[in-house]
A and B are shown apart, each in its own frame.
Chain A
Amino acid sequence: LAKTTQPISMDSYEGQEVNITCSHNNIATNDYITWYQQFPSQGPRFIIQGYKTKVTNEVASLFIPADRKSSTLSLPRVSLSDTAVYYCLVGDRYSGSARQLTFGSGTQLTVLP
């Protein structure tokens, strides 16, 4: 199983770029990296998914180095409403089952005014 390690918490200020790094040293060839965001009293919400290099959508960017042993979620110009827990997961998109999913405790991002 590809276990992930993230910082427990991070603080930032409004308008700053925030980078949250996730380590997944034993990622498998077919594993994709997915990030979820969870606001208080809500279920996790998909943010972004990638396999290698860089992926960008309207919410975030995901940077994955060539060895794929880590990934960095980048949130540009955060606002107070980005305060949430961010989870990094790795999982096979072509086989295996969600039994392999371990959300862990995520990274609590607190954006300060």
Chain B
Amino acid sequence: DTAVSQTPKYLVTQMGNDKSIKCEQNLGHDTMYWYKQDSKKFLKIMFSYNNKELIINETVPNRFSPKSPDKAHLNLHINSLELGDSAVYFCASSQDGLAGDTQYFGPGTRLTVL
């Protein structure tokens, strides 16, 4: 069983489009995250939800909107896509959302904006 899953794995789209990435975890964790990894491998946290409540929102443009229908799911919707949004997006989960928690990552979604 996959612990943290994301769909789609690849996403190629045109500038200006709106797209969504879905994430699900079956670990029973309370906290889920979205990270963005750029071409230089920097992995930067974007959002964190704990029990469906937004905890972290790190200077991300308003075009990015996370949604957590329940604590096992955290989706990421991106409006008006720009070239600079091209990156790999990782979903992750942890038990409590503390900085020292072990995080479990999904396989990533490679977004390419043309």
Contacts and interface: CB of A to CB of B under 8 A. Distances in A.
The size bracket of the interface on B is 20 to 34
B98 A99 contact: no
B66 interface: no
Interface string B74-114: 00000000000000001010100111111111111010000
Contacts of A46: 102-104
Interface residues of A, number: 32
Contact of B55 (A36, A43, A97, A100): A97
A101 interface: yes
Interface string A91-113: 11111111111111110100000
Contacts of B98: 91-98
A99 B48 contact: yes
Contact of A94 (B4, B43, B100): B100
A63 interface: no
